Structure 1
């Protein structure tokens, strides 16, 4: 990978991902003649118009993430979301027009989803969405499949990214990197294994959780709100899905949880998952060669992180 992707290389990567999605959709019998890219950041999202199908093609990935690692993660997402849809829960479901499995083509691994028309005038209400996350957690408690423990924390990514950032003084200061490494030495044993988490938090129940900021991944459509983007679905504490949202969102979740008979958020766990979330943001700087806008995009999070307690209050 070059030190920085030029606009031309970024456009070429988008075109390759779109081309792979279109070719895969055509092979599956879909009408893809008006395919259009809807979104391009960590994934290229393609509407295979006029077919009512959207394809998500991950493109910005850690060095170790290949087709062999993407496939199982995508299968877990498709299985969980398909199960939720079958139970009648409000999700953007896998496309019923193709087999419910990842498709690999031209070096990409992609998933196919039902197209929904979003309400583009709807303003995101994160406090309201936080209450909806409690409903999602109530539904996920009954999911019958097996999920890995806190795979959404991506400990291998954080470990390797912090090592790689030693050669990138252009994107992170020595002081910030030193703090990040020292914090990770405290946090990784806690969130890197189920046993480590149980030792630190013996009374905290684990369950399937969304894994990737569900509050910002709730889509408004004419009929209401739909949960989306379960790419990091995992087994973990419910606090993981509320990381970084603040007191108002936490209070809204707790009120909804009480109504549903779920437990309240644990303050110690919240502090730890907030700290892990910040380290994942710092680690994203290692992906800046693939997505240059990350250098500026994560700066607000890093500035906030500098004001937070070391390692969420652990080890200090």
Structure 2
């Protein structure tokens, strides 16, 4: 699959007039990230996942639009490449986005507490984003996958699935729509958010830290962007914020994050490295109150 993604990215870039002689894979996960050398352009090519895991239509364009707007406001972000049109590119059945190449500073150690404190500034800017976004798009797959997935002994047991399905019956009316969430948590701060663990998506480049990977940009509670990080990082956010995180909402978002990870179990045969993360989140989830404390 990696070679297919590399070839598709190189072919698409050449068709748009870019010189590509030595494409190099920078990262491989749910997307293949390819530096289209010598062009100063990086292609991000999502893997060809089953439809249920691909995310809502328009996801890539929403990301490009949001990041372009953030850059215009002066926020430090990895920007879409100015050398190509501002839209997803289709090639060989794959849809990709093209970004400006940035050089990572290999000497800088990750500072997740510092990055989490910076999320406050990211949220402050995103709060005024005028574009249209979906409500909590990263959670849309939970109910769909729970209805079809099978237990995997040693990873996710039948009892786990029974509990998760029972929980989703309680959670879906609250998490499935903005109206449902705001009825349950009327004082929560709801706004445009990054959507995918921004503290882990702050890239330390030779020109300073840059936010990246807004594929899941969405509308939701701020607490979703900190979900699953643990008390130390929650405190780091609160220390930098004028309005602290809501502990009840955070507990619910932590629960939703665990479910989001666990429903990736059907992908383990294709991505074995997922298994350790699923086991970790499942172990934490088993000790959480049913449905994040909702009744």
- TM (norm. structure 2) is 0.95
Q: Does 2:137 match 1:151?
A: yes
Mapped to 2, the partners of 1:239 and 1:167 lie a distance apart of 29
Deviation for aligned residue 1:207:
0.9
Q: Does 2:275 match 1:295?
A: yes
Structure showing greater relative contact order (alpha-carbon pairs closer than 8 Å, 6 or more residues apart): 1
Quick one: structure 1 residues 167 and 268, their matched pair in 2 at CA, closer, same or farther if it must change by over 3 Å? closer
Runs of 4+ in 1 over 4 A off after TM superposition: 167-171
Tell me whether 195-204 or 101-110 shows the greater mean CA deviation. 195-204
Mapped to 1, the partners of 2:38 and 2:279 lie a distance apart of 39
Tell me whether 235-244 or 158-167 shows the greater mean CA deviation. 158-167
Query: What runs of 5+ residues in structure 2 fail to find an aligned partner?
Result: none
Q: Counterparts of 1:50-199 in structure 2 under 5 Å?
A: 50-59=38-47, 61-64=49-52, 72-153=58-139, 155=140, 157-166=141-150, 168-169=152-153, 171-199=155-183
Q: Does 2:22 match 1:38?
A: no
Mapped to 2, the partners of 1:232 and 1:90 lie a distance apart of 18
Deviation for aligned residue 1:294:
1.7
Look up the SS of the partner of 2:109 in the other structure: coil
Mapped to 1, the partners of 2:274 and 2:232 lie a distance apart of 27
Q: Does the aligned pair in 2 maintain the 1:92–1:116 contact within 8 Å?
A: yes
Q: Does the aligned pair in 1 maintain the 2:223–2:253 contact within 8 Å?
A: yes
The residue aligned with 1:8 is none
- TM (norm. structure 1) is 0.89
The residue aligned with 1:6 is none
> Which of 16, 22, 35 pairs up with 2:10?
22
Mapped to 2, the partners of 1:60 and 1:132 lie a distance apart of 33
Deviation for aligned residue 1:169:
4.4
Deviation for aligned residue 1:168:
4.3
The residue aligned with 2:259 is 279
Q: Cα deviations across residues 102-147 of structure 1 (Å, max 9, x unaligned)? A: 0011111100011000012222111111110000001111211111
Q: Does the aligned pair in 2 maintain the 1:211–1:232 contact within 8 Å?
A: yes
Mapped to 2, the partners of 1:70 and 1:19 lie a distance apart of 25
Aligned length: 295
